[in-house]
Amino acid sequence: MLKKASIIVAMSLFTLSAQAVDVPISGTVQSRCVITTDTPGTYGNPNAYTLTTAAADGGVQPIVRYDVTLADAYYAQITTPTSFSTSPSLNDTVSWTGSTEVSSVSDATGMAGYESAKTVSGQTTQFDLTATGSTWFKSTSVATNGGNKAFPGGNYSATIEAVCVAK
Amino acid sequence: MLKKLLLGVLVGFYPYYCYSDNIAPYYGTTGNAAQSGHSWSMKDVLPAPPGLDINGVFYRYTANKNPEDDMKVHVQNKNANGTGYVFRDTEDWSGAPGGIEVRKVIGIGDIPREAWGDGSIEVEGTGTVDDASVIYSYKVDPCYDPQFSPSCPGYKTPVPVVPTVNLDDLYDATKDEFVNLNDEEKLSIEENEERLAEEEEKEKEEAEEKKRKYRLEKLMSASDTAALFAENQRIEQMNNIMQNQINNTYLAATIPGGQYKETIRLVDAKLPDSKAGLRNGLAQQILHEKMISQQYK
């Protein structure tokens, strides 16, 4: 009898006072495209006015790895430098060229066609990641000082931008 | 109740911990199987311990080709029993430019080494493979052979094997035709063998003779005892007979009482010397004198 009375009282109070409650919803999206620096690059200095990552000129090509676990869902966009991030005070304008190509793949049957299907726009190269697995891209960056003037002595650094763009 | 539960848990986990602490499987990787060429023998690649299972293959190579050429590359291992392949992975490079490297990691579910035949990289189509590397990862169970350690399940305490040797098969230098002996040495060996044989025969005969003597002595001893016993019996019987005779002859007589007087009387007369005695005495005297006189000759 006591239990029944309590329930009735509670119900009566509920109907008399209306309330609003915000229920949170949360979630996490795991990235299906992971970018990792495999090999940092180094500029070689074949002459006084050129800095290049080409191995033939004493440089080291930077290599970046894309790990994709969802097929045909992303593009890999890699942009070679257009300026130094750190450098001594320059004495002229620097002209930049660069390129990116497929270095290695984890699945040749599905990825060997990336190279021939890539698109280039300015310093940016885009690859269509149609297969799951890992792909290594290597880039070449060449900086030439204007008027064939010698680069001032000092440390130079530049950055390659690698992006994974969802389709 | 709680104690029983804890005990049960401990007992349940004990064999696992015991095994893993002492004889845990270990893992490793081989060197580059394709270092010396595009075909290799697994016995040259895998380490020696038995109980080895291959659980993965990592390979890489650079395909050199023209984009318009068709090319497939197979990385493979034949099945050791001669039928097909125990492992084969194919990459189709058709339409792709050259100079691209493939790096591949392939997991395999613990396939025993005995199943792995020769490995190779096979190119099908137009193109070449450079800078190839094929590395196998493996797991080794040391207790594959339970006798590896007393801690292994199924270990049996070894019983030493005592070899059976046929004495006739033992080396005898005297019967070796390749041992060079001169005539004197050969003769010495033959004489020695003969002497040994004679001594052996002699020892046998002596032993047999001793046995015979012993048996004879035993027999004679028994015979003498019987004869002595019979002689004693005979003497005793004779004594008894004689005693009976004496008893019957003398003891039954009655001796009358009274005086027994001398009835024989010797009358004095001249008793002449016996001539036989005289003759004998004379002969003795002559002999005596001869003996005495001989010492002066």
- Residue closest to A107 by CA, chosen among B193, B63, B157, B175: B63
What gap in Å lies between CA B232 and CA B228, rounded to an integer?
6
Min CA distance, A124 vs chain B (Å)?
20
Q: Mean pLDDT, to the nearest integer, of B73-89?
A: 93
**Closest of A13, A32, A111, A103 to residue A62, by C-alpha:** A103
Higher pLDDT, B106 or A2: B106
Q: How far is B115 from chain A (nearest CA, A)?
A: 26
Q: Is the pLDDT of residue B174 over 90?
A: no
pLDDT tens figures, B198-214: 999 999 999 999 999 98
Section B280-285 average pLDDT: 84
Q: Is 0.80 topped by the overall pTM? A: no
From the CA of A142, how many Å to the nearest CA of chain B? 21
Structure-token match 């049957």, residue found: A109
* Pairs of CB atoms within 8 A across A/B: 52
Closest CA to A140 of A103, A88, A165, A166: A103
Question: What one-letter code names the amino acid at B174?
Answer: T
- Inform me whether the C-beta atom of residue A70 falls under 8 Å from chain B C-beta atoms: no
CA B49 to chain centre: 34
Which domains does chain A possess?
31-166 (2.60.40)
Paired with B76 in beta bridges are B88, B120
Could you tell me whether strands A94-105 and A133-145 are parallel, antiparallel, or unpaired per DSSP bridges?
Answer: antiparallel
ipTM of the complex: 0.75
A42: confidence class by pLDDT, cuts 50, 70, 90: very high
In this prediction, residue B38 carries a pLDDT of 94
B55 has a pLDDT exceeding 50: yes
Nearest-CA distance B114 → chain A (Å): 29
CA distance A43 to A49: 12
Mean pLDDT of chain B: 84
Any B CB within 8 A of A136 CB: yes
Asked if pLDDT for residue A139 goes beyond 50, the answer is yes
Q: What is the mean pLDDT of residues B67-88?
A: 93
Average pLDDT of span B26-55:
92
Task: Please tell me the distance from the alpha carbon of residue A121 to that of residue A137, in angstroms, as a whole number.
Answer: 16
Which residue of chain A has the CA closest to B71?
A: A109
A-chain CB neighbours of B101 within 8 Å are 103-105, 136
The total number of residues shown for chain B amounts to 297
A137 with A103: CB under 8 angstroms? yes
| Chain B residues with beta carbon closer than 8 angstroms to that of A132 | none
Q: State the pLDDT at residue B109.
A: 87
B117 to chain A nearest CA, in Å?
A: 25
| Overall average pLDDT of the B225-242 stretch | 90
Tell me which of A50-54, A121-125, B162-166 is least confident. B162-166
User: CA-CA distance, A74 to A72, in Å (whole number)?
Assistant: 6
Strands, E, within chain A: which ranges? Answer: 33-39, 44-47, 50-52, 63-68, 74-79, 94-105, 119-121, 124-129, 133-145, 161-166
Q: What is the mean pLDDT of residues B134-162?
A: 87
Average pLDDT, rounded, for chain A: 88
pLDDT-based confidence at residue B275 (cuts at 50, 70, 90): confident
- The architecture in CATH of the region B24-148 reads Sandwich (2.60)
> pLDDT tens across B96-125, in order?
898 999 999 999 989 999 999 999 999 999
CA distances to B241, B258, B265 from B261, rounded to whole Å, are: 35, 10, 11
Give the contacts of A46 (CB within 8 A, at least 6 positions apart). Answer: A52, A57, A58
Element (H, E) at B90: strand B85-92
Three-state DSSP state, A9: helix
DSSP E strands, A80-145? 94-105, 119-121, 124-129, 133-145
- Looking at residue B14, its pLDDT comes to 40
Burial class (CB in 10 A: 0-12, 13-18, 19+), A60: middle
pLDDT bracket for residue B173 (50, 70, 90): confident
Q: Chain B residues contacting A, CB < 8 Å?
A: 60, 63, 67, 73, 90-93, 95-97, 100-105
List of chain A residues whose C-beta atoms are within 8 Å of the C-beta of residue B70: none
Could you give the CA distance from residue B99 to residue B193 in angstroms, rounded to a whole number?
Answer: 88
Q: Find the mean pLDDT for residues B169-179.
A: 74
Residues 6+ apart with CB under 8 A from A144: A49, A50, A94, A95, A96, A97
Q: Is the pLDDT of residue B229 over 60?
A: yes
Region B265-289: mean pLDDT is: 80
Residue B98's contacts (CB-CB under 8 Å, 6 or more residues apart) are: B63, B64, B65, B66, B67, B127
Considering only residues B7 and B52, tell me which one the structure prediction assigns the higher pLDDT: B52
Q: Which of A9-13, A32-36, B136-140, B238-242 has the lowest mean pLDDT?
A: A9-13
Give the model's confidence band at A112: pLDDT under 50 very low, under 70 low, under 90 confident, else very high.
Answer: confident
Residue B68: closest C-alpha in chain A: A116
Taking residues A81-100, report their average pLDDT.
95
- pLDDT at res. A6: 42
* C-alpha to C-alpha distance for A70 and B40, rounded to whole angstroms: 36
Determine contact: A108 vs chain B, CB below 8 A. yes
What pLDDT sits at residue B154?
A: 85
Percent of chain B with pLDDT over 90: 40
Cα A145 to Cα A89, A125, B182, distances in angstroms: 12, 24, 103
